[in-house]
């Protein structure tokens, strides 16, 4: 069996009860084979990154300890998305029931047609960096550096914890 590896997953939804979609996805992550959900950030409301004529997102980041390879984990994440009604092929950065992005898989660095690790663009996204820093303070991201430094360079653009935001 492969060595256990920490993996970080970004969760997001802005359709069909987004808060519930993200919460259901966390339960599904905890049920993955050869994996255990270790930590989850709080939920955040965030403005859409893509077209502005869509609802705000609910975002979070989760940490798993897993024996799954990066591609096995990617397949499992895409299966969860599909089970929760995700339809691929729509507008880029458009509305979706669920988006699960594999951000990091240990210290793995790869660039393949199916998967790039660390996730490209994560260092520019407040809705990834702030929740990630909440559950992994002191983390160093391969090829990008200290998470704390990345957070300091990325202003929060409307990120609001769900428990403090007007729902």
Is residue 25 a contact partner of residue 98, using CB atoms and an 8 Å limit?
yes
Q: Which residues make Cβ contacts (< 8 Å) with residue 51, sequence separation at least 6?
A: 91, 93, 94
Catalytic residue among 99, 114, 164, 166: 99
Q: Can you tell me the distance from the alpha carbon of 49 to that of 20, in angstroms, rounded to the nearest whole number?
A: 21
Catalytic residue among 96, 114, 126, 148: 96
Active site residue 114: no
> Given 56, 101, 109, 157, which residue is catalytic?
101
| Angstrom distance (rounded) from CA 66 to CA 3 | 8
Compute the distance between CA of residue 90 and CA of residue 95 in angstroms, rounded to an integer. Answer: 9
In the residue annotation, 86 being an active-site residue is answered as yes
Catalytic residue among 20, 86, 126, 148: 86
Indicate if 125 belongs to the active site: no
* Residues that are catalytic: 86, 96, 99, 101
């Amino acid at each position: 069996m492969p060595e256990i590896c920490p993996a970080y997953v970004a969760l997001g939804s802005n359709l069909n009860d987004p808060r519930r979609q993200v919460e259901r996805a966390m339960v599904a992550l905890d049920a993955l084979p050869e994996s255990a959900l270790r930590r989850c950030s709080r939920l955040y409301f965030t403005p859409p990154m893509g077209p502005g004529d869509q609802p705000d997102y609910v975002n979070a980041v989760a940490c798993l300890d897993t024996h799954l390879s990066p591609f096995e984990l990617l397949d499992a994440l895409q299966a969860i998305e599909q089970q929760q009604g995700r339809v691929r092929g729509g507008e880029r950065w458009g509305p979706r029931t669920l988006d699960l992005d594999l951000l990091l898989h240990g210290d793995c660095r790869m660039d393949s047609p199916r998967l790039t690790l660390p996730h490209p663009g994560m260092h520019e996204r407040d809705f990834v960096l702030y929740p990630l820093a909440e559950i992994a303070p002191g983390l160093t991201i391969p090829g990008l550096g200290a998470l704390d430094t990345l957070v300091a360079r990325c202003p929060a653009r409307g990120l609001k914890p769900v428990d403090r935001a007007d729902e």
